[in-house]
Amino acid sequence: MTDTTSKTAELSAIGVSIWLDDLSRERIAGGSLEALIADRNVVGVTTNPTIFAAALAKGQAYDAQVAELASAGASVSEAVFEITTDDVAAASDIFRGVYDGTAGVDGRVSIEVEPGLANDAAGTIAQAKQLWAKVDRPNAMIKIPATVEGLEAITEVIGAGISVNVTLIFSLERHRAVIRAYLAGLEKAQAAGIDISTIHSVASFFVSRVDTEIDKRLEAIGTPEALALKSKAGVANAQLAYQLFEQEFATEQAQALLAAGGNAQRPLWASTGVKDPALPDTLYVTELAVAGVVNTMPEKTLEATFDHAPLHGDAVTGSYAEAQGVLDALAAVGVDYDDVTDTLEREGVEKFIVSWNELLDTVTAALEAAK
């Protein structure tokens, strides 16, 4: 029985889909996911290399499969592929009821292409298709980073009828390009005779990392005007991303695709755990609450939201002038927005490559130990 009185229920009633930014075999086998669906209004899951590296590094949940893979002579990359796709398939089965109940909008479980392919469109397309075929669940989503090369891959993969979670979006300009890559993909799928109503996509727009990077720069500038802008950029940037989403899906091209059964590409607020302890722990939940978005939360943020989020309805649609004012003020004190977002994209890819290598190291050690 899903709770209808809690803060997470209130957030869901505003129109926000709550997804958990975490997955592990322990969570799958131990009933934690079912409990979060029932008690915390969770309707989806996102994963990334960091999450899998952490899951594999602790606990014994993967031992049996690792031993089996070791005796079969699997390579490290084969083992990682088998382990992660098994988890995503199992989680997709748990969320199947949500998927069916929401006509495919929610109940989604995301798995990422190898981060080392971020600047390789052909490699990304090939691996996205391989992951989709292996997980073999209609409610899976393949995560593709929003690099310039990723844009080409998004169009191709959507065009093949595969649902995509576009990740690592930091700038408004790139968000616009992502939406257009998605619409081009829908047109491609339509031309190929694919039922476009079966294709879903989210655009993962990162929030707290923007504040972390910009706040560092504001502190270095150090003027009262600069310091007064601390911790305002992440929310303002995301609010303007929602405005951009509204504008782009009001175009003739988008409206024609929606009329033909296509789905809007929902904004997904990612990186919503607060990094600065001086800030309210649900800041990136309450200030980005609006209908038709996803908020993917680490468990700590999910629990804080459930416990005490001071929700005040739609916090986004009336905010655009003020949000633009924040970005204008940042430019006025000398913060270079384009440099910030370029830096964050580059670092985002690098961080995931480091996590991916940790994942490979963890599995290498496990395979060796199992032999």
Catalytic center residues: 143
Phi and psi at residue 175, to the nearest 5°: -60, -40
Tell me which residue of 192, 179, 198, 189 sits closest to 244, measured CA to CA.
179
Tell me which residue of 233, 153, 161, 237 sits closest to 199, measured CA to CA.
161
DSSP state of 198: G
Helices (H), the chain: 7-14, 25-29, 32-39, 49-57, 63-71, 76-94, 96-101, 121-135, 148-159, 172-191, 208-221, 224-227, 233-248, 252-259, 283-286, 299-308, 320-333, 337-370
CB 229 within 8 A of CB 327: no
Phi and psi at residue 263, to the nearest 5°: -105, 145
Distance CA 83, CA 223 (A): 51
Neighbours of 298 (CB within 10 A): 15
Return the residue matching tokens 């609010």. 239
Distance CA 110, CA 295 (A): 14
- Determine which helix (DSSP H) or strand (DSSP E) holds 293, and give its type and residue range: strand 293-297
CB 311 within 8 A of CB 338: no
One-letter amino acid of 308: H
CB 286 within 8 A of CB 312: yes
